[in-house]
Amino acid sequence: MFCDRFGYPILQDRFRDALRRMCKNTGVPYHSKHPAHAFRHTHVKRLDEAGISETAIQQRIGHTKGSKITRIYTHSDEIMRKDTINIYAEYKRVKNI
């Protein structure tokens, strides 16, 4: 829930209109079916990229352990795959494996 400058709740339609305008002005795709829910996905993805444990992420967003939804939110992207390779290569180098 968001409040306006006077402390009153912003109505859902007004929030969506503002979000739609911001997306249009910045070139970010607007998801008309669940516009605000995209923030949840982004937050979970950023927590995962930061190295936060899956358990901590699940607790933060209210999911149960091993939740299919959490696994979907934290799917690997190209950057994470490359980081994983680099981290493992450095580990092997340090351990002289």
User: pLDDT per position in the chain (97 positions), as tens?
Assistant: 678 889 898 888 888 898 889 888 988 788 887 777 777 877 888 888 888 888 888 888 887 666 666 666 666 666 677 787 788 788 888 888 7
Please tell me whether residues 50 and 87 are part of one structural domain: yes
Name the amino acid, one letter, at 63: H
**Could you tell me if 57 and 94 lie in one domain?**
yes
Pair 84, 45 in one domain: yes
Query: In this structure, are residues 61 and 40 in contact, taking their beta carbons and an 8 Å threshold?
Result: yes
Quote the number of domains for the chain.
2
| 30 and 58 share one domain | no
| Residue 95 and residue 51 share a domain | yes
Whether residue 94 sits in one domain with residue 53: yes
Q: What is the DSSP string of 18-71?
A: HHHHHHHHHTPPP-SSSTTHHHHHHHHHHHHHTT--HHHHHHHHTPPTT-HHHH
Q: Is residue 60 located within the same domain as residue 92?
A: yes
The pairs formed by 12-18 with CB atoms below 8 angstroms and a separation of 24 or more are none
- Print the domain residue range for 9: 1-35
Same domain membership, residue 46 and residue 28: no
Return the pLDDT at 77: 63
